[in-house]
Amino acid sequence: MSDLFADNKATQADSYNASDIEVLEGLEPVRLRPGMYIGGTDEKALHHLAWEVLDNSMDEAVAGHANRIEIELHLDGGITISDNGRGIPVDPHPKFPDKSALEVILSTLHSGGKFKAGAYETSGGLHGVGISVVNALSDNMWVEVARNKQLFKQSFSRGIAQGKLEELGSTPNRRGTTVYFHPDAEIFGEDKKFKPAVLYAMARSKAYLFKGVEIRWKCDPALIKPDSVAKPEDVFHFPNGLVDFLQSELQNKALIVDTPFHGHIELPDSQGKIDFAIAWPDRDLSFSHSYCNTIPTPLGGTHESGLRTALLRGLKNYAEFADIKKASIITADDVMNGAAVILSVFIRDPQFQGQTKERLVSSHVSKLVDQAIKDRFEHWLTSDPTTSNVLLNSIILRAEDRLRRRAEKATSRKSATQKLRLPGKLADCSSKTSEGTEIFIVEGDSAGGSAKQARNRQTQAVLPLRGKILNVFSATKDKIKANNEVQDMIMALGCGTNDKFNLSDLRYEKIIIMTDADVDGAHIAALLITFFYSQMRELIEEGYLYLAQPPLYRMVSGNLSAYARDDAHKDELLETMFKGKSKIDFSRFKGLGEMPAKQLKETTMAPESRTLLRITVPHAKATFDMVNEALAQEDTLDAPTERKVDVDNLIDQLMGKKAEARYDFIQKNAEFVSDIDI
C-alpha cells in the first residue's frame, strides 16, 4: 500500500492556500448562485424578475406617490416597466460619493429605501436585493429617472454599470422611474422567454389589489398566440378593488348569499391595513387568493390562518346568538372549502418564507387579521338574519356531509390494528379513526425519543428508522422485501405497495418525513421520497406526503428569539428582526435528537406553529390558478404527461444504477448549486 503521507501528497496538499479562497464582490454571488435569490433558473424564476421590478412601482403607488404604471413587453424578449412616482434618487450617495444613489441601488445587494421606516410604511419586502438581482441576471438593462424636472439615464450589463449617470436634460412634465431589462440567456437559456399571458394576468391582479393605481399594458402583437388571454393593449383600473377581482373570478356564478362579505380595515397604531372580499358560490367553486403588500402568497401563511379563525369564530358566535345548535360541528375547513376568498394585507416588516416570498410567516399577523375581521363578520351576519341563516345552514350541510363521508370511509383504528401486524417501534396514536391523524417518519432512536415526547398522542404517531434506508429505486424486489426499515413503513401505513396499493386502507391523513436540517438529513429525506415515489406514487399525487421543516438555528437577543431554517434564513433575520441588535446568541441544533421536546413541538410538530412542505409531482404549486391557466394556454405541449416523464427520468438519473448518469447531471448542474458544505 502506498504511503498516504508521502512527499508528493504533501506537495498537493500544500497547494491549498490563501490564494484558493475566492471572495465574491458586488453582484457576482447572484450570477454564481441565482437559485438563492429567485428560486432557480426556470420559467417561474424568469417571471420573478418582472415581479421584482413591478413590485417596486407598486410600492410607490401604495405609498401614495404614484397612480400610474406602464408595462410593455418587447419583441426582443425585454420588458419595460415605468411609473410616475418620485423616481429613484440620483444624487451622490453619502457612503459612496463617486456613485449616484441609483448606481448603488442597482449594483449593491441589500441597498434601498425600504430599511428605514420613513421611506415606505409598507412594502413588498425588506431584503433590499430585488432590482439589483434583476440587474445581475440581465445582459442589458437601463434605467431612466425623471426627478426634479430633470431626466437621467444609466445603463448596465450583468450587474456592471456601463458608464456614469447621464443627465439628458429638462423634462418639466414627467416624473418617475422607467426600467428596461433583457434576461441573460447565459443564466436562463435561449429557450425561456416571458409569456404574455402570465404577465398580463399578474398586471391585472396588481390593479385589483390597489384601487388607486391604473396599470397600462402593451405587448408586441407578434408575441401573442391566437388563443391567449393577453391583449396587445389594455388598461387596468378597478375602483372597487377586490370586489371587482372577486366578481371577475366568479364570472356571474350563482351565490348562496347575493352580497359578498367585503371591506377595508385600517389597523390601529398604523400597523397596516386589510382588504378582503369573500363569497360563497352555490356550486363548488372555492378558491383562496392571498397577498401581502401586493406580493402573491400562493402557499398562504399567517394572514390566511387569521382569516380562517375569524370566519369560524364569527359564524359560531352568530349561531349561538340565533340558537342554531347544529353549528357546533362546523370546522374552519367547512367554512373555507366552499368559499371564494381574496385577501390582501399591508403590514410593516413582513417576514416571508424564502426570497421568492410565497408564504407569509409573520406570527403577529394571524392575530391582527382575526381580531380585525371577526367582529365585522358578526355584524355582517346579524344585519340580515334571514340570508345569514341560509349561509349557515349550507355550511352545516357541508359539515354533515363531511362527517357522513368520514363515517363511511373511516377505518376503526382498533379493528385495523387487530388485522395488521404493526412494527414494534411504532408509537401509534390513540385516535380510532384516520381523520386528523399523521405519522412522523424520523431518523434514529434518539430523534424518535424526542418526537414521542413532543407529539400529540391523540393524533400523531412516530416511526423511528435506523440510519439511511435502502435506495429502492436501484434495489431488487428481494432486497426490498428483506429490508426491515422498508417493511416497517409498509406495515405501519397499511395501504400496500405497487399493484397491491389501496389508498382507502391508509391509516393516516398525513405522512410527514422529519429529518435533521443538514446534508445527511436531506439525503435520508431524498431516499424516503424515492421510496414513496416508486412504491406508493398515488400517496404523493393525492397530497398525503409532507416534509417537515425543523430549524437549524435558534437566535436570541434579550427578550427577542426566533428560529432559522438555514443560513439564508438566518441572514434574512439578521437583516430584519435582529437588525441593530448588538448582542445575538446563536444555538446550532446538532440534530432532532438534541432538541428539547418542547422546542421540537413548537417549531416542527405542532400544527398551529410548524411549517410543512407538501411533496407533489412534479413540483409544489407555487402560482395562482389564473397564472397557471395562462401558462397552460401558452404551452403547446401535453404538459402533465411531459412533466411526469421528466420526473421519472430525473429520479432514474439521480437514484438509478448508472453512476455515470449522476456524474453527467452533476457536471451539467454544478454551476447552479447554491449551498456547498466544505
User: Pick the catalytic residue: 184, 334, 516, 572?
Assistant: 516
> What are the start-end ranges of the H helices in 189-331?
196-209, 242-250, 302-321
Look at residue 503 and give its three-state secondary structure. helix
> DSSP for 349-397?
S--BSTTTT-SB--HHHHHHHHHHHHHHHHHHHHT-HHHHHHHHHHHHH
Q: Which of 445, 518, 575, 648 is catalytic?
A: 518
* Catalytic site includes residue 42: no
Read off the DSSP letter of residue 436: T
User: How many Å apart are CA 59 and CA 255, to the nearest integer?
Assistant: 34
Please state whether beta strands 585-588 and 510-514 pair in parallel, antiparallel, or not at all (unpaired): unpaired
Q: Is 675 a catalytic residue?
A: no
Q: Which of 187, 139, 199, 184 is nearest to 35 (CA)?
A: 187
Query: Is the bond leading into 172 cis (omega within 30 degrees of zero)?
Result: no
Tell me whether residue 384 is one of the annotated catalytic residues. no
Is 33:39 a contact under the CB 8 Å cutoff? no
In the chain, how long is the greatest CA-to-CA distance?
Answer: 92
Residue whose entry in the numeric block shows the C-alpha cell 401558452:
634
- Sequence-separated (6 or more) residues with CB below 8 Å from residue 51: 202, 295
Q: Is 375 noted as a catalytic residue in this protein?
A: no
Catalytic residue among 186, 233, 266, 520: 520
* Whether the Cβ atoms of residue 273 and residue 346 lie closer than 8 Å to each other: yes
C-beta of residue 83 within 8 angstroms of C-beta of residue 177: yes
Q: Which of 443, 485, 488, 634 is catalytic?
A: 443
* List of E strands, 526-673: 545-548, 553-557, 560-564, 585-588, 612-614
- Name the residue with cell 422607467: 178
Catalytic residues: 443, 516, 518, 520
